[in-house]
């Protein structure tokens, strides 16, 4: 089989997915191609019908199309339905099925650290698509735990909490500025940063600027992978926390997409240095 794969986004120039999947196809001895396609929001439906639906065998979908693509799918799998976003589409005999492998990316990234946050509360900063995938993954890994959401837009945080309160009954939003948020973040066992604040080229910034939110023994996970270690993570490391950057999640969500398209597990240990090399050259 010849795999005809692509990623849709706007803009799409800096995506590392073409490097990952082109290398994975080679390493696994599979025939195929993976291209980056820049599609403006107004052109999504036309591009889908005219260029992709009958020609591609699998797609990644990134910002700003992760929600809009759902209505073009013939079916949407559980992870994507629960997260409200599709980042992977698979062409099957029954039609196109949308998935969300960011959820598997979070789960696989945190799985070996489970014992480090087995007790205590969890704080998620951000209430966008990535935060939804995080909460969905945590719902499987740590159901019923005390979880808090800190977001700039309080209304959006409220909405997110409403959706996930069936898994975390005590889930509630916290103010991004007040001392209560900082105290609860500092006391948490697991602190997850799911906003773009601190991403290249704005490396100097970090969420909850000026607040003392880290502590020794805490696990701090930042979803950003460019730079490899954000200011948020280096401040957390200086406070004695165990830090995890977004590269592991990128690798695991990409591997999960590749498995859905090809049925083959790509060798992450061989792909990690390839992606690291590109990150070093690109920033």
Binding site for ligand NAP (CB under 6 A): 63, 102, 105, 126-131, 151-153, 156, 194-197, 199, 207, 223-225, 246, 249-250, 253
At closest approach, how far in Å is the CB of 192 from ligand NAP?
10
Identify which of 196, 202, 207 has the alpha carbon closest to the alpha carbon of residue 236: 207
Spatial separation of the C-alpha atoms in residues 240 and 230, rounded to whole Å:
16
Q: How far apart are CA 258 and CA 233, in angstroms?
A: 29
Q: Which of 231, 226, 205, 210 is nearest to 279 (CA)?
A: 226
4/208 with CB nearer ligand NAP? 208
129 versus 227: smaller Cβ distance to ligand NAP: 129
C-alpha–C-alpha distance, residues 62 and 44, integer Å: 12
Q: Pick the closer one to ligand NAP by CB: 164 or 225.
A: 225
Nearest approach, Cβ of residue 228 and ligand NAP (Å): 11
Closest CA to 196 of 151, 138, 158: 151
User: Using CA atoms in the order 24, 28, 29, 33, what is the torsion angle rounded to 10 degrees?
Assistant: -30
Closest CB to ligand NAP belongs to which residue? Answer: 128
What is the three-class DSSP state of 155?
A: helix
Decide if 270 is catalytic: no
C-beta of 55: minimal distance to ligand NAP in Å? 26
Q: Of 21, 66, 108, 206, which one is the catalytic site residue?
A: 66
Q: How far apart, in whole angstroms, are the C-alpha atoms of residue 262 and residue 260?
A: 6
Residue among 53 and 242 whose Cβ is closer to ligand NAP: 242
Cβ of residue 240: shortest distance to ligand NAP, in angstroms? 24
Residues annotated as part of the active site: 66
């Amino acid at each position: 089989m010849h795999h005809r794969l692509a990623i849709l986004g706007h803009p799409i120039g800096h995506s590392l997915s073409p490097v990952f999947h082109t290398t994975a196809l080679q390493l696994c001895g599979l025939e195929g191609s993976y291209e980056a396609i820049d599609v403006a929001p107004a052109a999504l439906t036309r591009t889908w019908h005219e260029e992709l639906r009958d020609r591609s065998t699998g797609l990644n979908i990134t910002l700003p199309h992760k929600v809009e693509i759902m209505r073009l799918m013939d079916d949407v799998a559980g992870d994507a339905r629960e997260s409200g976003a599709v980042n992977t589409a698979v062409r099957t005999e029954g039609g196109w099925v949308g998935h969300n492998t960011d959820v598997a990316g979070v789960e696989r990234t945190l799985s070996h650290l489970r014992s480090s946050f087995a007790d205590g509360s969890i704080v998620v900063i951000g209430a966008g698509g990535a935060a939804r995938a995080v909460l969905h993954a945590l719902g499987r890994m740590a159901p019923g735990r005390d979880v808090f959401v800190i977001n700039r837009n309080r209304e959006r945080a409220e909405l997110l909490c409403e959706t996930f309160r069936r898994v975390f009954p005590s889930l509630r939003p916290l103010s991004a500025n007040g001392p209560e948020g900082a105290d609860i973040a500092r006391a948490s066992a697991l602190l997850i940063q799911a906003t773009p604040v601190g991403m290249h080229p704005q490396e100097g910034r970090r969420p909850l600027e000026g607040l003392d939110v880290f502590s020794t023994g805490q696990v701090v996970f930042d979803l950003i992978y460019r730079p490899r270690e954000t200011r948020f993570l280096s401040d957390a490391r200086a406070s004695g926390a165990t830090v995890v950057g977004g590269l592991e999640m990128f690798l695991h969500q990409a591997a999960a997409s590749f498995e859905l398209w090809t049925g083959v597990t790509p060798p992450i240990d061989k792909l990690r240095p390839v992606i690291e090399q590109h990150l070093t050259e690109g920033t």
